[in-house]
Structure 1
């Protein structure tokens, strides 16, 4: 059964874009986007903005690759958009992502995070079968799931999935 949060009415789940391989001695937390990841993040952010997708707030993991992905969205969608970095999103379980989404007062929230948690969060919201139909190969790096709450069905529906 899919989880049914009631606030917000739109959720954007964004997995950070492709990260570079860790350098010798570098912590996973400090891995930056690869050159391809930078380009993909910029293109995805521009496509989403062109489609009129704009959250009220962006909540991002503090890991470097997530911050860089969130920054690309922030630039494309407007610097007046609130952007918050949250330590707990790094290495978190899906329930942490879901609780964070559920406590937001905004109508549209974007969460920038990591796999497998971002995919597990999507699955909790839309259900296993819908996840498999939408993303048979899994949630790709730099992928953006746009979900709307269908009040009549009391369920989250995947509106669109964008990827680089």
Structure 2
């Protein structure tokens, strides 16, 4: 039974850490993390590390917005993941849940776990769509989704995962 469980895939949906307030002088896309955002992201990443199993088949995908990449750059070293290997895509920035799901569906079947660094409302809506839960991700929060047995990332669809944890 344990062996079967090890074949199950895990999806981590991570909302970016707290960023600078909106301002006219800076484009939303370019907003940077606040110090308190970095502090909180560091704490949550350390909590995630307790339950995170590092495998060579782990993929990290981030929105290209500064605040998402900077959050990924906080989490990855703590989790033992290579910052240089982060795949960046604008398709996650201000994206609808179906756009984010399309990015995840393009992940190869061989991948065991995916971490997605992005934005609300898309990530919260995607979490709820995949797992039939009702959660709202605050900044730096991590939704841990366990894909049903036999489901790979290209097959992932509504209701085919369960919410295994919410780190906040």
TM range (shorter): 0.7 to 0.9
* 1:156 match: 161
- Specify the SS of the correspondent of 2:86: strand
Distance in 2 (CA, whole Å) between partners of 1:88 and 1:52 is: 26
Q: Which moved more, 1:73-82 or 1:18-27?
A: 73-82
- Specify the SS of the correspondent of 1:142: coil
Give the drift of 1:80. 3.5
| Conserved 8 A contact 1:146-1:160 | yes
Distance in 2 (CA, whole Å) between partners of 1:29 and 1:146 is: 26
In the TM superposition, what whole-angstrom CA distance separates every residue of 1:67-86 from its partner, at most 9, and x where no partner exists? Answer: 11000111111244731111
Unaligned stretches of 5+ residues in structure 2: 1-7, 152-158
- Specify the SS of the correspondent of 2:78: helix
- Specify the SS of the correspondent of 1:47: helix
| Conserved 8 A contact 1:12-1:111 | yes
* 1:118 match: 123
Distance in 1 (CA, whole Å) between partners of 2:71 and 2:130 is: 23
Distance in 1 (CA, whole Å) between partners of 2:150 and 2:65 is: 37
Unaligned stretches of 5+ residues in structure 1: 1-7
* 1:87 match: 90
- Specify the SS of the correspondent of 2:165: strand
* 1:4 match: none
CA RMSD of aligned residues (A): 2.1
TM-score, normalised relative to structure 1: 0.82
TM-score, normalised relative to structure 2: 0.81
Distance in 1 (CA, whole Å) between partners of 2:13 and 2:23 is: 28
- Specify the SS of the correspondent of 1:26: coil
Give the drift of 1:24. 4.2
